[in-house]
């Protein structure tokens, strides 16, 4: 019995990075996840009920890391915060929060206010729901309980949608051909802004109306419209799944999930076909769009042909990225460019139950006889160790690997994942027919020239 | 006294901790020691019987008001006992444990105890050691001896056992060690035996047994300690003896607490004994304790 317990404890220590020391994990805490998610909504104000350092820490840790972006109108140092100090720890921070919500609603021209409770109020048991409840008549205001120790920033995204569904959304008549896009986590997925717009434009081409929720104005209307969707479309192997499940339970909206955002012609055509079939809108018209786009994009991919085939043909490559990015890029580089996947390190700590599907998605969908090593790892030291003495010539990772890719691994690198301190990302992304071509641009640029 | 004696008194809520502590402080002051009693409980009622039932402003009240005036934290009580209440939040809000930490830090960092320079400082600490905050008085550099008040109730002994775990934890890093157990509300021989057996099993000692007494209750209702309200009573003598024992007690123990299941098994056998004794009493046969109300 005792031995069994020890066995279990040992296994947990190996598989759960949250309970042993790690170097530079590529995500932050639950509060950070909700914070980034709310900042992704235009005209929504995050109100941090926390110490002052939580917001400033996330400015550097999450926002700058998410493609060197600031936080917009209500992000960074412009974020209202209850700035809890010892007095509030002892006596409770409810009064200060009440004043903060009240004055924020008066002063800020916004559509939605989201109170995010961090570690301190959760530990001392502030009744934040009661405080927030007093302002429901004055403005749309939500409370998301997100003590940092409870979950990571990817899960913070789910916490936001769960709270939204419970506190704001009401049932709506379903609009045919309308879908919500879930699973692109603002800031954690560094191409989030460009990816969402690209998906929206793609789906518009086959007359599907995508509510991408983030990066657009009329936020409250977009949020309230979530229950009106015919389908929730999840474009990640695990992010957005809990949110979609919640919306299914609450409003009966079915969801369809894809293992990542569609990158390049093959994945994009499959995405359009599958989704239109689910929505019963698949037709010759969809095939016509696909045919036209494939023809155009494959013609475009002729241009880098010489650079790839004459200079770096069939190169081994390595990946260190979140699940969604890792799956999509690996498939594109292998299946459409003819590169060889050497080692794929998944850095976003997906829950155990999703891991097998992630591995299968990579191994079973590669059009090559070569099968990569797939490792789930969040410790940056171990990630570096795992990359040593491998044959890869290209490394698709984060700014934690970029600067040392050549010296330590002899590889050229492209930053494609969090943290991205060495690459600013505004509209760049690899989604869709042109997305694949854009990735090729970035790959070839690493070795082309200089004269 | 050459060196200041600093002790902490712990025990389950409602067990008679503040009553015992206040009587101990009063008795020590009668023995001509300069005593400071610091109540570490957000209810701030530790020192009321030393102050004729009148509550005093707390350290946390001062923190909350934002006042920098630190000269109104210590109040004089019976026979010059220096009374301090740490205070804390209203029930159900905030973090009382952090309140205790902040209050003790404030007293310490501002030299308030050193300025008064009492011979003995007694920390009267709330209930169980529920979190790190309530363990502060037993951590390095504050109290050096801990006494624990308990009755023969299982839950009271359970709380003592938890306290022992806390003492054991900090014992390696210069924390306080156990001075002894104070058995309270004793009316039967078997209750004494049970507490004595617990002390033996945990390799500690009982420093005094305090019998159950209506004199204590009466004095409390009058807002005074037994030492002040009934100085000639037998009970007052018990507290004076306790005071002498505490002064003379130079021993400190690292207790050996029970594991939870072992404690339950141990208690089960004793509770059967106590029930049997009660039954005998109920059937008209006097128990042999000779003590009682």
Provide the shortest C-alpha distance from residue B76 to chain A (in Å): 26
Is B68 near chain A, with CB under 8 Å? no
Q: Are A71 and A59 in contact (CB under 8 A)?
A: yes
Q: Using 50, 70 and 90 to split pLDDT, how confident is the model at B92?
A: confident
* Residue B293 scores a pLDDT above 50: no
| CA A446 to each of CA A400, A413, A424, A439, B202: distance values in angstroms, whole numbers, following the listed order | 17, 7, 16, 11, 71
Distance CA B135, CA B176 (A): 10
Is B133 near chain A, with CB under 8 Å? no
Q: Are A183 and A64 in contact (CB under 8 A)?
A: no
Contacts of A407 (CB under 8 A, 6+ apart): none
Q: In what order do the strands lie in the sheet with A178-182?
A: A209-211, A178-182, A231-234, A255-257
Distance of CA A1 to the CA centre of its chain: 42
Report yes or no on A62 lying in a domain. yes
Nearest to B89 among A86, A90, A127 (CB): A90
Q: Using 50, 70 and 90 to split pLDDT, how confident is the model at B149?
A: very high
Distance CA A354, CA A238 (A): 6
Is A88 near chain B, with CB under 8 Å? yes
Distance CA B223, CA B22 (A): 11
Provide the shortest C-alpha distance from residue A107 to chain B (in Å): 27
Query: Among A297, A329, A346, which residue terminates a domain?
Result: A297
Is A92 near chain B, with CB under 8 Å? yes
pLDDT of residue A85: 93
Report yes or no on A11 lying in a domain. no
* CATH number for B119: 3.40.50.300
How many angstroms separate the first and last alpha carbons of chain B? Answer: 37
H/E stretch holding A447 reads helix A432-447
User: Measured between beta carbons, which residues in chain A are less than 8 angstroms from residue B93?
Assistant: 91-92, 94, 124-127
Interfacial A residues in 93-132 facing B (CB < 8 Å): 94, 123-127
A60 and A142 assigned to the same domain: yes
Least confident of A137-146, A240-249, A296-305, B99-108: B99-108
Report yes or no on A10 lying in a domain. no
- Quickly list H helices, chain B: 17-30, 59-65, 96-109, 112-116, 132-135, 154-171, 189-201, 214-221, 226-229, 234-248, 260-282
pLDDT of residue A17: 65
Distance CA A415, CA A121 (A): 37
Residue B251 token pair:
């021993």
* CATH number for A86: 3.40.50.1980
DSSP letter (8 states) at residue B257: P
Q: Using 50, 70 and 90 to split pLDDT, how confident is the model at B288?
A: very low
Q: Using 50, 70 and 90 to split pLDDT, how confident is the model at B30?
A: very high
Nearest to A92 among B60, B63, B89 (CB): B89
The dihedral over CA atoms of A287, A288, A290, A291, expressed in degrees to the nearest 10, equals 110
The predicted model gives A159-181 an average pLDDT of 97
Residue B97 token pair:
């444990």
pLDDT of residue A360: 95
The predicted model gives A71-89 an average pLDDT of 94
User: Measured between beta carbons, which residues in chain B are less than 8 angstroms from residue A94?
Assistant: 93
Q: Using 50, 70 and 90 to split pLDDT, how confident is the model at A155?
A: very high
Nearest to A89 among B64, B92, B98 (CB): B98
Higher pLDDT, B97 or B47: B47
Residue B34 burial (CB count, 10 A): 17
Is B102 near chain A, with CB under 8 Å? yes
The predicted model gives B12-29 an average pLDDT of 94
The dihedral over CA atoms of A269, A274, A280, A283, expressed in degrees to the nearest 10, equals 30
Contacts of B284 (CB under 8 A, 6+ apart): none
Distance CA A51, CA A65 (A): 21
Nearest to B64 among A91, A126, A127 (CB): A91
From the list B5, B12, B188, B192, the catalytic residue is B12
Q: Using 50, 70 and 90 to split pLDDT, how confident is the model at B284?
A: low
Query: Among A167, A191, A207, which residue terminates a domain?
Result: A167
A309 and A441 assigned to the same domain: yes
Higher pLDDT, B128 or A450: A450
A266 and A325 assigned to the same domain: no
The predicted model gives B8-36 an average pLDDT of 95
The predicted model gives A64-69 an average pLDDT of 97
User: Measured between beta carbons, which residues in chain A are less than 8 angstroms from residue B92?
Assistant: 125
Residue A438 token pair:
């854009």
Is A310 near chain B, with CB under 8 Å? no
Q: Domain residues for B180?
A: 5-282
Q: Are B156 and B11 in contact (CB under 8 A)?
A: yes
Angle at A64 between CA A58 and CA A69, to 5 degrees: 115
pLDDT of residue A18: 65
CB contact under 8 A, A92 and B94: yes
pLDDT of residue A27: 96
Q: What is the DSSP string of B61-120?
A: HHHHHT----TTS-EE-GGG-EEEE---PPTTSS-HHHHHHHHHHHHHHTTHHHHH--SE
Q: Mean of the per-residue pLDDT values for chain A? A: 94
User: Measured between beta carbons, which residues in chain A are less than 8 angstroms from residue B98?
Assistant: 86, 89-90, 124
CB contact under 8 A, B94 and A123: no
* Residue A308 scores a pLDDT above 80: yes
Q: Using 50, 70 and 90 to split pLDDT, how confident is the model at A6?
A: very low
Report yes or no on A1 lying in a domain. no
A192 and A131 assigned to the same domain: no
User: Measured between beta carbons, which residues in chain A are less than 8 angstroms from residue B95?
Assistant: 89-90, 123-124
Q: Are A244 and A232 in contact (CB under 8 A)?
A: yes
Report yes or no on B115 lying in a domain. yes
pLDDT of residue A259: 96
A62 and A150 assigned to the same domain: yes
pLDDT of residue A260: 97
User: Measured between beta carbons, which residues in chain A are less than 8 angstroms from residue B60?
Assistant: 90-91
From the list B128, B153, B188, B192, the catalytic residue is B128
Distance CA A255, CA A180 (A): 9
Provide the shortest C-alpha distance from residue A94 to chain B (in Å): 9
Provide the shortest C-alpha distance from residue A144 to chain B (in Å): 19
Higher pLDDT, B111 or A291: A291
Query: Of B98, B109, B134, which to mutate for an interface test with A (greatest number of A Cβ within 10 Å)?
Result: B98
User: Measured between beta carbons, which residues in chain B are less than 8 angstroms from residue A124?
Assistant: 93-95, 98
* Residue B188 scores a pLDDT above 70: yes
* Residue B113 scores a pLDDT above 70: yes
Residue A2 burial (CB count, 10 A): 6
Cα R_g (chain A), whole angstroms = 22
Report yes or no on B290 lying in a domain. no
Query: Among A248, A267, A297, which residue terminates a domain?
Result: A297
| CA A365 to each of CA A184, A317, A335, A437, B97: distance values in angstroms, whole numbers, following the listed order | 22, 17, 9, 20, 56
User: Measured between beta carbons, which residues in chain A are less than 8 angstroms from residue B90?
Assistant: 91-92
* Residue A253 scores a pLDDT above 50: yes
Provide the number of structural domains found in chain A: 3
Report yes or no on B292 lying in a domain. no
A217 and A251 assigned to the same domain: yes
Least confident of A224-238, A356-370, A395-409: A356-370
β-partners of residue A414 are A396
pLDDT of residue B133: 82
Report yes or no on B288 lying in a domain. no
Q: Mean of the per-residue pLDDT values for chain B? A: 89
* Residue B286 scores a pLDDT above 60: no
B3 a catalytic residue: no
CB contact under 8 A, B89 and A125: no
B276 a catalytic residue: no
Is B60 near chain A, with CB under 8 Å? yes
| CA B210 to each of CA A286, A334, B189, B214, B220: distance values in angstroms, whole numbers, following the listed order | 90, 82, 12, 12, 16
A149 and A230 assigned to the same domain: no
A293 and A326 assigned to the same domain: no
Report yes or no on A389 lying in a domain. yes
Provide the number of structural domains found in chain B: 1
Report yes or no on A136 lying in a domain. yes
The dihedral over CA atoms of B210, B215, B216, B217, expressed in degrees to the nearest 10, equals 130
User: Measured between beta carbons, which residues in chain A are less than 8 angstroms from residue B89?
Assistant: 90-92
Q: Using 50, 70 and 90 to split pLDDT, how confident is the model at A3?
A: very low
Q: Mind listing the pLDDT tens digit for each residue in A254-306?
A: 999 999 999 999 999 999 999 999 999 999 999 999 999 999 999 999 999 99
Is A91 near chain B, with CB under 8 Å? yes
B43 a catalytic residue: yes
H/E stretch holding A332 reads helix A323-335
Q: Are B149 and B182 in contact (CB under 8 A)?
A: yes
The fraction of chain B above a pLDDT of 90, given in percent, is 61
DSSP letter (8 states) at residue A175: P
Report yes or no on B152 lying in a domain. yes
The fraction of chain A above a pLDDT of 70, given in percent, is 96
pLDDT of residue A10: 41
Q: Are B213 and B229 in contact (CB under 8 A)?
A: no
Is B106 near chain A, with CB under 8 Å? no
Q: Domain residues for A350?
A: 304-447
pLDDT of residue A97: 98
A228 and A208 assigned to the same domain: yes
Cα atoms in the Cβ-side hemisphere of radius 13 Å centred on A42: 11
Q: Are B86 and B39 in contact (CB under 8 A)?
A: yes
A132 and A236 assigned to the same domain: no
User: Measured between beta carbons, which residues in chain A are less than 8 angstroms from residue B94?
Assistant: 88-92, 124
From the list B5, B17, B188, B192, the catalytic residue is B17
Report yes or no on A25 lying in a domain. no
pLDDT of residue A183: 98
Residue-wise burial string across B58-84, b where 16 or more C-beta atoms lie within 10 A, e elsewhere: bbbbbbeeeeeebeebbbebbbebbbb
Is A426 near chain B, with CB under 8 Å? no
Q: Mind listing the pLDDT tens digit for each residue in A400-445?
A: 999 999 999 999 999 999 999 999 999 999 999 999 999 999 999 9
Q: In what order do the strands lie in the sheet with A112-117?
A: A44-49, A112-117, A141-145
User: Measured between beta carbons, which residues in chain B are less than 8 angstroms from residue A91?
Assistant: 60, 64, 89-90, 93-94, 99
Q: Mind listing the pLDDT tens digit for each residue in A113-154?
A: 999 999 999 999 899 999 999 999 999 999 999 999 999 999
A338 and A414 assigned to the same domain: yes
**Residue A451 burial (C-beta neighbours within 10 Å; 0-12, 13-18, 19+):** exposed
Q: Using 50, 70 and 90 to split pLDDT, how confident is the model at A5?
A: very low
Report yes or no on B31 lying in a domain. yes
Give the three-class secondary structure for A412: strand
Q: Using 50, 70 and 90 to split pLDDT, how confident is the model at A101?
A: very high
How many angstroms separate the first and last alpha carbons of chain A? Answer: 70
Report yes or no on B289 lying in a domain. no
Instruction: Report the candidate in A398, A382, A389, A407 with the shortest Cα–Cα distance to residue A342.
Output: A389
Q: Which residue of A has its CA nearest to B63?
A: A87
Higher pLDDT, B70 or A285: A285
Report yes or no on B293 lying in a domain. no
Report yes or no on A23 lying in a domain. no
Q: Are A222 and A140 in contact (CB under 8 A)?
A: no
pLDDT of residue B285: 59
CB contact under 8 A, B63 and A87: yes
A386 and A329 assigned to the same domain: yes
Residue A416 token pair:
């494609």
Distance CA A329, CA A321 (A): 10
Nearest to B99 among A90, A94, A127 (CB): A90
* Residue A352 scores a pLDDT above 70: yes
The predicted model gives B241-264 an average pLDDT of 93
Provide the shortest C-alpha distance from residue B15 to chain A (in Å): 26
Is B231 near chain A, with CB under 8 Å? no
Q: Which residue of B has its CA nearest to A87?
A: B64
Q: Using 50, 70 and 90 to split pLDDT, how confident is the model at B278?
A: confident
Q: Which residue of B has its CA nearest to A128?
A: B93
């Amino acid at each position: 019995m005792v031995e069994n317990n020890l066995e279990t404890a040992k296994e947990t220590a190996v598989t759960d990075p949250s309970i042993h020391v790690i170097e530079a994990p590529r995500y932050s805490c639950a509060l950070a996840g909700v914070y980034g998610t709310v900042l992704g909504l235009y005209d929504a104000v995050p109100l941090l009920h926390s110490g002052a350092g939580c917001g400033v820490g996330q400015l550097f840790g999450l926002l700058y890391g998410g493609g060197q972006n600031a936080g917009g109108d209500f992000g960074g140092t412009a974020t209202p915060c209850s700035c809890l100090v010892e007095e509030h720890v002892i006596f409770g921070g409810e009064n200060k929060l009440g004043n903060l919500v009240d004055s924020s609603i008066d002063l800020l021209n916004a559509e939605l206010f989201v109170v995010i409770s961090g570690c301190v109020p959760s530990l001392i048991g502030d009744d934040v729901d009661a405080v927030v409840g007093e302002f429901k008549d004055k403005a749309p205001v939500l409370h998301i309980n997100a003590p940092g120790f409870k979950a990571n920033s990817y899960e913070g995204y789910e916490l936001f949608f769960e709270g939204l569904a419970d506190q704001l959304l009401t049932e709506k008549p379903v609009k045919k051909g309308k879908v919500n896009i879930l699973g692109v986590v603002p800031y954690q997925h560094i191409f989030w802004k460009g990816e969402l717009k690209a998906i929206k434009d793609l789906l518009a081409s086959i007359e599907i109306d995508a509510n991408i929720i983030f990066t657009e104005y009329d936020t409250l209307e977009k949020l309230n419209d979530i229950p009106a969707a015919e389908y929730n479309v999840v474009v990640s192997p695990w992010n957005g799944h809990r949110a979609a499940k919640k919306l299914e339970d609450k409003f009966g909206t079915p969801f369809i999930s894809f293992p990542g955002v569609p990158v390049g012609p093959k994945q994009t055509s499959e995405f359009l076909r599958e989704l239109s079939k689910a929505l019963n809108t698949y037709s010759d018209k969809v095939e016509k769009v696909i045919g036209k786009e494939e023809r155009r994009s494959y013609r475009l991919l002729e241009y880098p042909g010489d650079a790839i085939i004459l200079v770096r043909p069939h190169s081994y490559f390595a990946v260190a990225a979140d699940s969604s990015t890792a799956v999509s890029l690996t498939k594109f580089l292998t299946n459409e460019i003819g590169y060889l996947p050497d080692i794929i390190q998944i850095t976003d700590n997906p829950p155990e139950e999703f891991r097998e599907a992630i591995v299968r998605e990579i191994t079973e969908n590669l059009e090559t006889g070569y099968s990569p090593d797939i490792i789930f790892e969040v410790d940056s030291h171990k990630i570096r160790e795992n990359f040593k003495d491998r044959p890869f010539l290209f490394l698709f990772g984060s700014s934690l690997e970029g600067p040392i890719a050549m010296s330590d691994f002899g590889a050229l690198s492209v930053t494609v994942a969090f943290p991205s301190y060495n690459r600013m990302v505004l509209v760049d992304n690899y989604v869709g027919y042109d997305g694949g071509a854009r990735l090729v641009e970035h790959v070839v640029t690493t070795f082309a020239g200089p004269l | 006294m050459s060196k200041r004696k600093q002790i902490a008194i712990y025990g389950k809520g409602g067990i008679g901790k503040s009553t015992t502590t206040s009587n101990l402080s009063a008795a020590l002051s009668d023995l001509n020691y300069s005593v400071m009693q610091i109540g570490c409980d957000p209810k701030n009622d530790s020192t009321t019987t030393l102050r004729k039932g009148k509550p005093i402003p707390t350290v946390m009240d001062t923190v909350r008001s934002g006042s920098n005036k630190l000269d109104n934290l210590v109040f004089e009580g019976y026979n010059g006992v220096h009374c301090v209440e740490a205070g804390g939040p209203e029930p159900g809000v905030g973090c009382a444990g952090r309140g205790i930490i902040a209050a003790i830090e404030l007293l310490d960092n501002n030299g308030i105890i050193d300025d008064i320079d009492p011979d003995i400082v007694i920390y009267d600490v709330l209930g169980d050691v529920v979190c790190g905050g309530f363990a502060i008085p037993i951590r390095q550099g504050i109290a050096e001896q801990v006494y624990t008040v308990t009755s023969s109730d299982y839950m009271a002994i359970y709380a003592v056992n938890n306290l022992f775990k806390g003492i054991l934890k900090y014992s390696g890093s210069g924390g306080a060690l156990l001075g002894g157990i104070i058995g309270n509300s004793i009316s039967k021989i078997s209750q004494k035996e049970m507490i004595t057996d617990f002390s033996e099993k945990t390799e500690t000692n009982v420093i005094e047994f305090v019998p159950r007494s209506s004199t204590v209750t009466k004095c409390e209702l009058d807002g005074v300690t037994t030492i002040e309200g009934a100085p000639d009573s037998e009970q007052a003598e018990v507290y004076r003896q306790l005071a002498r024992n505490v002064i003379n007690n130079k021993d400190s123990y690292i207790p050996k607490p029970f594991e939870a299941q072992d404690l339950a098994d141990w208690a089960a056998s004793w509770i059967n004994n106590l029930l049997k004794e009660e039954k005998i009493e109920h059937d008209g046969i006097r128990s042999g304790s000779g003590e009682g109300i």
